[in-house]
Structure 1
Amino acid sequence: MTTTADPLLDDDLRSALGAERAARWASPRAPYAPRVDLVHRDGRPVAAALTSRRGATAAVKIVDVWWRTEADAATAAALVDDIVARAEAAGDAAVKWEVPLGQDLPAFASERGFAPLASPHPSAPGTLGARGYVRWLVELPHAEAPYYAQTTLYTCGAVSGLLAAEAAGAAGFGGARDASPDDPQGSAQLPSVADRDLELAFWRRASNFPAIEPVGLGVVMREHLPADRPVEVFLDHDGPVLIEAYAGFERDFRAELQAESLRQGEAVGLAVHRTRIGIEEIARRVAGGDLALLLIDEAPMHGETGPHWVLAHAAGHGVVVIEDPWISSDEGETWVDSHELPIAHADLDRMVAWGAAGYRGVVFVGRT
Structure 2
Amino acid sequence: MTTITDARLDDELRATLGETRAARWASPRAPYSPRIDVAHRDGGPVAAALTSRRGATAAVKIVDVWWRDEADTAAAAALVDEIVARAEAAGDAAVKWEVPFGQELPSFAVERGFAPFAAPHPSAPGTLGSRGYVRWLLDVPHDEAPYYAQTTLYTCGAVSGLLAAEAAGEAGFGAADASRDVPVDGRPAPSLADRDLELAFWRRASNYPAIEPVGLGVVMRETLPADVPVEVFLDHDGPVLIESYSGFERDFRVELQAESLRQGEATGVPVHRTRIAIEEIARRVAGGDLALLLIDEAPMHGETGPHWVLAHAAGEGVIVIEDPWISSDEGETWVDSHELPIAHADLDRMVAWGEAGYRGVVFVGRR
Q: Which TM-score tier does this pair reach, normalised by the shorter chain?
A: over 0.9
In structure 2, what is the equivalent of residue 366 of structure 1? Answer: 365
What one-letter code is carried by the residue in structure 2 that aligns with 1:341? L
Alpha-carbon separation, structure 1, partners of 2:172 and 2:104: 31
In structure 2, what is the equivalent of residue 224 of structure 1? Answer: 223
Q: Say if 1:121 and 1:176, in contact at 8 Å, map to a contact too.
A: no
Q: Which runs of 4+ in 1 moved over 4 A?
A: 175-178
What one-letter code is carried by the residue in structure 2 that aligns with 1:150? Q
Q: Say if 2:3 and 2:35, in contact at 8 Å, map to a contact too.
A: no
Q: Say if 1:177 and 1:189, in contact at 8 Å, map to a contact too.
A: no
Is there any run of 5+ residues in structure 1 with no aligned partner, and where? none
Alpha-carbon separation, structure 1, partners of 2:296 and 2:274: 19
With normalisation by structure 1, the TM-score equals 0.96
In structure 2, what is the equivalent of residue 70 of structure 1? Answer: 70
In structure 1, what is the equivalent of residue 304 of structure 2? Answer: 305
Alpha-carbon separation, structure 2, partners of 1:302 and 1:53: 10
CA RMSD after TM alignment:
1.4
Distance 1:187 1:341, change over 3 A: farther
Residue 238 of structure 2 corresponds to residue 239 of structure 1: yes
State percent identity of aligned pairs.
Answer: 85
Distance 1:294 1:142, change over 3 A: same
Q: Say if 1:127 and 1:187, in contact at 8 Å, map to a contact too.
A: no
Moved more, 271-280 or 3-12: 3-12
Distance 1:348 1:334, change over 3 A: same
The 5-angstrom pairing of residues 224-303 of structure 1 reads: 224-303=223-302
Q: Say if 1:121 and 1:175, in contact at 8 Å, map to a contact too.
A: no
CA-CA distance at 1:314 after TM superposition? 0.1
In structure 2, what is the equivalent of residue 11 of structure 1? Answer: 11
What one-letter code is carried by the residue in structure 1 that aligns with 2:315? G
Q: Say if 1:131 and 1:187, in contact at 8 Å, map to a contact too.
A: no
Alpha-carbon separation, structure 1, partners of 2:12 and 2:165: 50
Alpha-carbon separation, structure 2, partners of 1:56 and 1:322: 13
What one-letter code is carried by the residue in structure 2 that aligns with 1:353? A
In structure 2, what is the equivalent of residue 93 of structure 1? Answer: 93
Q: Say if 2:291 and 2:361, in contact at 8 Å, map to a contact too.
A: yes
Residue 122 of structure 2 corresponds to residue 122 of structure 1: yes
Distance 1:13 1:328, change over 3 A: same
Alpha-carbon separation, structure 1, partners of 2:175 and 2:298: 31
Distance 1:348 1:222, change over 3 A: same
Distance 1:342 1:177, change over 3 A: farther
The 5-angstrom pairing of residues 309-348 of structure 1 reads: 309-348=308-347
Is there any run of 5+ residues in structure 2 with no aligned partner, and where? none
Q: Say if 2:176 and 2:194, in contact at 8 Å, map to a contact too.
A: no
Distance 1:28 1:176, change over 3 A: farther
Alpha-carbon separation, structure 2, partners of 1:205 and 1:187: 35
With normalisation by structure 2, the TM-score equals 0.97
Q: Say if 1:130 and 1:187, in contact at 8 Å, map to a contact too.
A: no
What one-letter code is carried by the residue in structure 2 that aligns with 1:129? G
Distance 1:175 1:191, change over 3 A: farther
Deviations 1:101-146 (A, max 9, x none): 0100000000000000000000000000100000000111100000
CA-CA distance at 1:177 after TM superposition? 8.2
Alpha-carbon separation, structure 2, partners of 1:263 and 1:192: 35
Alpha-carbon separation, structure 1, partners of 2:365 and 2:101: 36
